[in-house]
């Protein structure tokens, strides 16, 4: 029988600026997603304890519940982890390592597993020296000659990171080639982004009629999921990606670069937010999402999809939108669950996709020209084809779709 995973959650708040009242709720959601049974939640308002992060008395209070692990919202230094493990019979985890634990349990593809490992090593590498040198200074048994061992471990980690980066670079190159091929076939690329558990997977299902798993828990989607979507005759591919979370370390963004490139290379980004969240929490999540998008170097047009409108009074929803207008460009209210607002969203998507221009192209009668004509039927909107001394094509499409014909085209864009 599998042993039950139990935990007590601990949060230290700054006495001057207590911070967000929803942080403990988010930590509980992460712990539940990782499979922990939460026995208690402890919050202490005080300055940072340099030895344990939180006061000794609160740790002793947490241990009275006999948990398998203590999970801290606050980041723990290697020294604090060492101190707690040395003085108390319990395992400890901070919020970032809890997130990595969730990622590791959900990583099903080779790419996702490599990205999780790279994130773990990126976190461990700068801390290995500190932890081992601390043990050496403390003269713990079994660490004689730890300096050489420390250097060996550090170099092993750096070597493994280099190998993973090289492999992920190949994966990213294949992704870039895949995106190019999809565009050559006439597809627009649209990416779903947003805070974890905002309803991105549910929206993907609602827009495309698919049945992707959409669970009410954080980080349901770890690897990109792509489905076809047609909007007013334009063919698109909609991709769901890993959700964002507050205080996401920059090296985690870098580790998941090959996955997040689906957002940074998209033609249009749908930023999904939970409109039913309290205003303060909604703003915090939008700020965190915009920071992550900035780290991903996203430059594509953006639509802010305010999900779960069915849980809001219409007047209250509009008042809330007025108070987040600085963070919500091109806002559209929808309910992915009840399909409310999806028609308006599709119209907005159509308007924000890269515009199509009218072209008139003349081609000679060759087998290559007829091959290009066949391709243009798939990738563009052919308005007219005249078979005279040469092929005369009138079409509406993207410049890049007709660029390969530019040397043979005798007329340019016809606006």
Q: For the chain, what are the domain ranges?
A: 6-103, 107-167, 186-352, 357-405
User: How high is the pLDDT of residue 408?
Assistant: 46
Any residues with CB less than 8 A from the CB of 244 and at least 6 apart, and which? Answer: 193, 194, 195, 196, 288, 289, 292
How far is it, in rounded angstroms, from Cα 196 to Cα 27? 13
User: How high is the pLDDT of residue 301?
Assistant: 92
Mean pLDDT value of segment 56-76 = 93
CATH entry, 6-103, from 3.30.460.10, 1.20.1250.20, 3.40.50.11060, 1.20.950.20: 3.40.50.11060
User: How high is the pLDDT of residue 308?
Assistant: 93
Q: At what angle do helices 110-137 and 78-87 cross, to 10 degrees?
A: 70
387-411 pLDDT, tens digit each: 777 777 777 767 666 666 654 444 4
User: How high is the pLDDT of residue 407?
Assistant: 46
> Residue written as tokens 């997603």?
33
Q: At what angle do helices 110-137 and 146-184 cross, to 10 degrees?
A: 160
Residue percentage of the chain with pLDDT more than 90: 39
Query: Has residue 268 got a pLDDT over 90?
Result: yes
Mean pLDDT value of segment 14-21 = 75
Lowest mean pLDDT among 48-52, 259-263, 403-407: 403-407
User: How high is the pLDDT of residue 414?
Assistant: 44
Residue 41's alpha-carbon distances to 32, 59, 174, 183, 205, in angstroms, are 13, 11, 45, 50, 35
Mean pLDDT value of segment 96-121 = 86
Would you place residue 27 in the very low, low, confident or very high pLDDT band (cuts 50, 70, 90)? Answer: very high
User: How high is the pLDDT of residue 302?
Assistant: 95
Mean pLDDT value of segment 120-128 = 79
Task: Evaluate whether 6-103 and 186-352 have a shared fold.
Answer: yes
Burial of 64 (0-12, 13-18, 19+ CB in 10 A): exposed
Mean pLDDT value of segment 333-337 = 93
User: How high is the pLDDT of residue 18?
Assistant: 67
Which strands form 302-307's sheet, in the order they lie side by side?
225-231, 234-240, 188-194, 268-274, 302-307, 331-333
How far is it, in rounded angstroms, from Cα 29 to Cα 217? 7
User: How high is the pLDDT of residue 133?
Assistant: 63
User: 251 or 234: whose pLDDT is higher?
Assistant: 234
Mean pLDDT value of segment 359-367 = 73
Residue percentage of the chain with pLDDT more than 70: 83
292-310 pLDDT, tens digit each: 898 888 889 999 999 999 9
User: How high is the pLDDT of residue 379?
Assistant: 67
137-192 pLDDT, tens digit each: 555 454 444 455 556 777 888 899 999 999 988 988 888 898 888 887 778 899 99
Stated pTM of the model: 0.79
How far is it, in rounded angstroms, from Cα 325 to Cα 321? 6
Query: Has residue 230 got a pLDDT over 70?
Result: yes
Query: Has residue 130 got a pLDDT over 80?
Result: no
Query: Has residue 206 got a pLDDT over 80?
Result: yes
Query: Mean pLDDT of all residues in the chain?
Result: 83
Which strands form 37-45's sheet, in the order they lie side by side?
37-45, 6-13, 69-72, 91-94
Which strands form 357-363's sheet, in the order they lie side by side?
357-363, 391-397, 381-387
User: How high is the pLDDT of residue 137?
Assistant: 59
DSSP H or E segment with residue 131: helix 110-137
Superfamily of domain 186-352: P-loop containing nucleotide triphosphate hydrolases (3.40.50.300)
């Amino acid at each position: 029988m599998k042993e039950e995973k139990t935990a007590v959650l601990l949060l230290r708040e700054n006495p001057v600026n207590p911070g967000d009242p929803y942080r403990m709720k988010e930590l509980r959601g992460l712990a539940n997603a990782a499979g922990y049974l939460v026995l208690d939640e402890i919050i202490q308002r005080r300055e940072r304890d340099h030895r344990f992060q939180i006061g000794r008395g609160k740790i002793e209070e947490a241990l009275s519940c006999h948990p398998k692990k203590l999970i801290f919202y606050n980041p723990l230094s290697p020294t604090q982890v060492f101190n707690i493990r040395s003085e108390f019979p319990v395992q400890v985890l901070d919020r970032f390592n809890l997130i990595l634990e969730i990622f590791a349990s959900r990583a099903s593809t080779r790419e996702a597993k490599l990205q999780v490992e790279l994130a773990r090593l990126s976190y461990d590498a700068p801390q290995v020296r500190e932890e081992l040198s601390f043990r050496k200074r403390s003269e713990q048994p079994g660490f004689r000659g730890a300096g050489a061992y420390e250097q060996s471990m550090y170099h092993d980690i750096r070597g493994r990171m280099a190998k993973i980066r090289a492999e992920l670079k190949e994966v990213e190159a294949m992704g870039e080639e895949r995106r190019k091929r999809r565009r050559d076939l006439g597809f627009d690329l649209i990416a779903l982004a947003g805070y974890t558990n905002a309803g991105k997977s549910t929206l993907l299902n609602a827009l495309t009629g698919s049945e992707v798993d959409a669970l009410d828990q954080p980080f349901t989607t770890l690897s990109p999921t792509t489905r076809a979507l047609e909007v007013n005759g334009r063919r698109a591919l909609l991709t769901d990606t890993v959700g964002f979370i507050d205080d996401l370390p920059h090296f985690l963004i870098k580790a998941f670069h090959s996955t997040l490139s689906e957002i940074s290379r998209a033609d249009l980004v749908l930023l999904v937010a939970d409109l039913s969240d309290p205003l303060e929490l909604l703003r915090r999540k939008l700020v965190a999402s915009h920071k992550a998008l900035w780290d991903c170097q996203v430059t594509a047009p953006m639509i802010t999809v305010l999900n779960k409108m069915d849980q809001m009074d219409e007047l209250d929803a509009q008042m809330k939108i007025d108070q987040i207008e600085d963070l919500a460009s091109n806002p559209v209210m929808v309910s992915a669950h009840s399909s409310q607002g999806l028609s308006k969203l599709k119209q907005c998507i159509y308007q924000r996709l890269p515009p199509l221009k009218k072209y008139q192209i003349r081609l000679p009668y060759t087998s290559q020209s007829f091959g290009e004509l066949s391709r243009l039927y798939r990738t563009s909107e052919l308005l007219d084809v005249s078979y005279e001394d040469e092929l005369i094509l009138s079409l509406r499409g993207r410049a890049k779709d007709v660029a390969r014909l530019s040397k043979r085209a005798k007329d340019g864009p016809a606006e």
